[in-house]
Amino acid sequence: MKESMIDVLNLDTMSTFEILKKVNDEDKKVAMAIEKELSNIEKAVELILESFEKGGRLFYIGSGTSGKLGVMDASECPPTFGTHDSMVQGIISGGVEALSGWLENTEDDPGLAIHDLKMVNINKKDVLVGITASGNTPYVASAMEYAKGIGCKTIALICNSKGIIKDICEVAITIEVGAEVLLGSTRMKAGTAQKMVLNMLSTVAMIKLGKTYSNLMVNVRPINKKLQQRVREIVKLATGMDDILVNEILEICEYDPKVCIVKIKSDVTLEKAKDALEKSKGNVAKAIAILQ
């Protein structure tokens, strides 16, 4: 990651509050740095959408903190958007063991990256996002080269404009966050920047796919009491109906918020609501438009 001049020589002699202030001041710069890359983030989302529409998958790949962030974002897509577990996947060098510990030596193994991609049968319909603060991690660079070689679309998420993978991929998102408060600790600003961009990539792609209605998570899976309550709140917000009616229709719809919203908003039978959603490929707004 590109290092800029920053006075941290006396960090260990500062008061707790002074250190916190220094960290917070640096963190404020992250959103501004991301704003400069919104056009490239938009291009990345378009590539992801194109892949999804062709039946492809989204893969994140990285080592250390970067890999963990990719795995975390991927793991949140099924409960948030009701996606199949295979639709968005995170790959970290070192595998599961690297998630709870650290296997940083694996980031220098280019052959391991190719092995890991072959294990998930990555193909030309898929899109691969390589995450690395330096932009030079051998594991990620090798993955990007291999993916590009088989026709897979590639996106780089890096924090160094001189990173080598910038020249490998179709789209490079380069978030120049500057030097870390704790020099070289890319789990800080660089990690924050990567997490924020990953949020944008997956969330915006899912919104464009019709996984939401307005800003409501209508694809959420009500697998426990907390999520069942969230579904009730989502339906109430979408329809303006009271608790009694919402609960009654949710029971009929087997707690499927999309079916419930379409049924209430369009005042149709359960069968017609389901049919409209099937025709609209699960898009609530389009299903309601069909029925109107």
Q: What amino acid positions are annotated as catalytic residues?
A: 76, 107
Coil vs helix vs strand at 291:
helix
Instruction: Give the helix/strand (H/E) hosting 264.
Output: helix 257-266
Question: At what angle are helices 138-149 and 110-119 packed, to 10 degrees?
Answer: 50
Which residues are CB-neighbours of 20 under 8 A, at least 6 positions away? none
* Token reading at 257: 């918020």
If 0-12 CB within 10 Å is exposed, 13-18 middle and 19+ buried, where does residue 47 land?
buried
CB 63 within 8 A of CB 130: no
The residue among 240, 229, 278 whose CA lies nearest residue 258 is 278
* Token reading at 41: 């983030």
